[in-house]
Amino acid sequence: MTKALPANLEQIEVNLKKLTNQRTRSSLLGIAILILIFFGGTLVSLEANAGSFGRGIANFFNYPRDLFVDTFEMGWKYWPRVIKYIPELIITLNIALFSTSIGFILAIIFAIFSSRNLIRNKRVIQFTKFLMDVTRSFPTLIIAMVFLYLMGKSSLPAVIAITIHTAGALGKLFTEAIENCDGKPIEGLSSVGATWTQKIRFSVLPQVLPLFLSYGILRLEINVRESTILGFVGAGGIGEMLAALIQWNYGADVLACMFLLVGTIIALDYLSAYWRHKLIGANQ
Amino acid sequence: MSSSLAIQRENIRKLFPDTFKQARKSRLRGQIIFFLVLVYLIVGFFTLDVVDIPKKWKPQNAAMFVLDTYAHKDHVTMKWENHEDIKIAFEGNYRSVYGRDNLDKSIPDWFYKNSDNVGNVVEFNNKGKAILYKDKVEIVNFPKYERGFTIKLNSNGKPYLVGSEDLVIENLKGFRITENRVEFRPTLYERIQVYPKKVEIHRYSIGWKYFWFDFSSPLEPYTFFEALGLTFSKERVVPEMSNLKLFLTEIKDNEAFMHGRVWWAMLETIVMAVLGTMFATVMALPLSFLAAYNVTPIKALRFTLRRLFDTLRGIDFLIWSLIFLRAFGPGPFTGIFAIGFTDTGTLGKLFSEAIENTEKKQQEGVQSTGASKFLQHRFGIIPQILPIFVSQSLYYLESNTRGAVIIGAMGAGGIGLQFLGALGTGNDFENVAYMAILVLAVVIFMDRLSAWLRRILIGSDQLIVR
């Protein structure tokens, strides 16, 4: 007995060492891969970049400085400029809000048809999931550019692109929410003979609606950024204005647009955090 | 029966008046919100010109666009003044002319002499024929058309459809006749246009022709697999280089699909996303420790770092990329730093919140062994936040792939810019489709890759938030 114990311990020691070695090896391998990716990527970047890295670092502050200098030269006359661009900002916000709303509604439809606890037919679920995968994976910019080409310059391509992307992205989250919701209320309603739509209306929807709204608000915040970017390729709003101003080199006006944008985004950030906190509580 | 039910209901209502009042109140609130949303949607419908979609939507343009993404066409051009000189060119490109120059490109078999040995026949895929003569064009054999047509030039040199006056209107389907042009387009795949100066025929076929080897490539006569087989044979197709090298360079330098350039651009985009995310992760990890109250006692430092994260995140990557574009010029560095700066803010905020939410007991356990502060964090906190760290970084890797495409299109290069260029040419829609599919494939691949890495690294492919 006394002799067997050290042997056992030895075995444990050997196993432990083996495990630690294995762990160290895989960690080292992971780090090596990361370093390899880093150097490979840097080489590609150096090869592909037009300007050199060093000069870029040196020039980094030039543009922001030019913008600020331009702004300071204007003095108090600057603030009317900022106000001048607010209508453009409203267009951008309108695009984002409208397409988020429509995308939200589409996403609910998608989610209902791709949730395992609501739909029995596997084909329907697979098809809807595939549809969501595709709509979610296309960058909005690509959809918007194609529609811009087909329909000419207007805000519509941005609305279409953001709606499509939102429907897919929210649809996936909504599906998870519906599939994770409590099955008992559904059973309860089934027991009193509720129809399929009644079950969704009175048992699923009350459970998931706060979560849906919270995701929707988060999406709205993302979509404001998206609609600005789409403006940059010609979909109107403050993005398009900013692109034009940069081209004309109107430093003060560029900074005014940037101020408006950053202010809006930060405000939305806090607002959405506050709303979501109210909707679903602190720790979710 | 029903009346007794109603009485019962009234009784319950009287017993619990508050409950019912509240229910009605919240229902009313829901209805008001619903009504407001509806009003907004109607307003948005008009302010954003959604009503104009039917007006702006040009089905002709869209059909041409879609057709060009999956089909290719050959142009046959005949000038009236020299009817024997007929030019057949792929996509109408002057550099891809069949039977011209020293290219040794045989005339395609759908173009041949007519049985009367005078006219030249262009045969379409649906067996319809256009026969080109010195003074007329005959259109015969088209399915769904019972008779043939003849298009001639009148004494003023303008084209006209012979006998069009006695044709029934249904039979004229597919024709568009203006003063200087007679166009026959029975389906999207056949198009015959007669002008006062020339005849131009577009013959469409489905598929991406010359996808692997372009028009002037020495490997063009072979299919992809035949050419792959050739790389194993000793006999050289061209004497200058080995077959394998030829095979690779010909694919890379394909003029139609530009595989070399497109794949290089794709690589640039991926590099932007990967290095940008790496940069953000490496920056955010130490900063997030400094911004967490259970690690850093200095309140001013925490506050400054928190506001720094907010600013970095608030200045969207759009604006970051504009600033970096001025500094670095077009190229991946712009994308790397734009993504890196924005996500340092996002990840820093997420990580510091995660650190603040860690269990204190593990750290205390390490502390009880007399470990230093550094070791306490290393063994007390890091193991707890590692899953969040990995899962969030990988999630952002995937979403940054999409972001990198967008930054590219705004001038930083990569696949986004290539896509914009192909769309801008207005006729290379097969390239547009090719790149769109490529982007889609890479985004889905990144999605799967990050889910797979999450699974093997932390045992769950779901996104862990907290």
pLDDT digits (tens, 9 = 90+) for B201-229: 888 888 888 888 877 777 777 778 887 88
Cross-chain residue pair A149–B65, CB shorter than 8 Å? yes
Chain B, residues 215-274, CB within 8 A of chain A, namely 264, 267-268, 271, 274
Pick from A48, A133, A145: which is nearest to B413 by CB?
A48
Interface test with B, best of A45, A59, A61 (most B CBs within 10 A): A45
| ipTM here | 0.82
pTM of the model: 0.83
In a domain, A275, yes or no: yes
pLDDT at A77: 76
CB contact under 8 A, A138 and B440: yes
Give the pLDDT of residue A124. Answer: 92
Show the tokens assigned to B461. Answer: 């492919």
Note the pLDDT of residue B301: 92
Pick among B270, B283, B328, B428 to test the A interface (most A CBs inside 10 A): B328
Q: How many CA atoms lie within 13 A of B86 on its CB side?
A: 22
Is the pLDDT score of B466 beyond 50? Answer: no
Name the B residues in 278-337 with CB < 8 Å from any A CB. 278, 310-311, 313-316, 318-319, 322-324, 326-333, 336
Backbone phi, psi, residue B243, to 5°: -65, -40
pLDDT in the model for residue B304? 92
Chain A residue closest to B438 (CA)? A138
Cβ-nearest to A145 among B44, B47, B420: B420
Topology of domain B259-458, CATH: MetI-like fold (1.10.3720)
Is the confidence at residue B165, as pLDDT, over 60?
A: no
State mean pLDDT over B165-182: 69
What is the number of other CB atoms lying within 10 angstroms of the CB of residue B306? Answer: 14
Is residue A102 in a domain? yes
**pLDDT for res A62:** 82
Are A164 and A107 in contact by the 8 Å Cβ rule? The answer is no
Query: Is residue A144, in this structure, part of any structural domain at all?
Result: yes
Give the percent of chain B with pLDDT over 90. 14
Spatial separation of the C-alpha atoms in residues B449 and B394, rounded to whole Å: 9
- So what's the pLDDT on residue B100? 60
Best to test chain B binding among A33, A34, A44 (most B CBs inside 10 Å): A44
- Calculate how close chain B gets to A63, using CA atoms only, in Å: 7
Is the CB of B198 inside 8 Å of chain A's CB atoms? no
B444 vs A contacts (CB less than 8 Å) = 133, 137
Does residue A137 form part of some domain? yes
Model confidence at B38, in pLDDT bands (50, 70, 90)? very high
- What's the confidence (pLDDT) of residue B464? 57
Distance from CA of A1 to the nearest CA of B (A): 33
Cβ pair A41:B274 closer than 8 A: yes
For residue A9, is it within any domain? no
The CATH code of the domain that includes A257 is: 1.10.3720.10
List chain A residues with pLDDT less than 50.
1, 282-284
Which chain B residues are Cβ-neighbours of A41 within 8 angstroms? Answer: 271, 274-275, 332
Q: Which residues contact B36 (CB under 8 A, 6 or more apart)?
A: none
B101 pLDDT band, cuts 50/70/90, is low
Domain boundaries, chain B: 73-206, 259-458
How many domains would you assign to chain A? 1
Inside any domain, residue A140 = yes
Min mean pLDDT across A193-202, B101-110, B112-121 is at B101-110
Q: B386 or B93, which is more confident?
A: B386
Q: What is the arithmetic mean of pLDDT over B230-259? A: 80
pLDDT for res B341: 93
Mean model confidence pLDDT for chain B: 83
* A147 lies in some domain: yes
Distance from CA of B397 to the nearest CA of A (A): 14
The pLDDT score that the predictor gives to residue A1 is 47
A209 assigned to some structural domain = yes
Phi and psi, residue A211, nearest 5°: -65, -45
Which one has a higher pLDDT value, B283 or B249?
B283
Tell how far CA B4 is from the center of its chain.
65
From the CA of A112, how many Å to the nearest CA of chain B? 20
Q: What is the pLDDT of residues B317-365, one digit of tens each?
A: 888 888 888 888 888 888 999 999 999 999 999 899 888 888 888 888 9
What pLDDT band is residue B282 in, cutting at 50, 70 and 90?
Answer: very high
At residue B175, the 3 state secondary structure works out as strand
Instruction: Name every residue whose Cβ is closer than 8 Å to that of residue B383 and which is 6 or more positions away in sequence.
Output: B362
Q: Looking at per-residue confidence, does B100 or B41 come out higher? A: B41
Instruction: Enumerate the residues of chain B whose CB falls inside 8 A of the CB of residue A228.
Output: 316, 318
Mutation target to probe the B interface, by most B beta carbons within 10 A, among A43, A47, A62, A142 is A142
**Can you say whether the dihedral through the CA atoms of A13, A15, A16, A21 is positive or negative?**
positive
The rounded percent of chain B whose pLDDT value lies above 70 is 95
Whole-angstrom distance, CA of residue B381 vs CA of residue B361: 10
State the pLDDT at residue A283. 44
Q: What is the pLDDT of residue A107?
A: 95
Average pLDDT over every residue of B33-37 = 90
Q: What is the pLDDT of residues B432-445, one digit of tens each?
A: 889 989 998 998 89
Of B61 and B351, more confident = B351
Distance of CA A251 to the CA centre of its chain: 30
What is the rounded CA–CA span in Å between residue B215 and residue B96?
6
How close A127 gets to chain B, by Cα (Å)? 17
Could you count the other beta carbons within 10 Å of the beta carbon of residue A189?
18
Q: Name the nearest CA neighbour of B71 among B466, B464, B427, B438.
A: B427
Q: Does B177 touch chain A (CB under 8 A)?
A: no
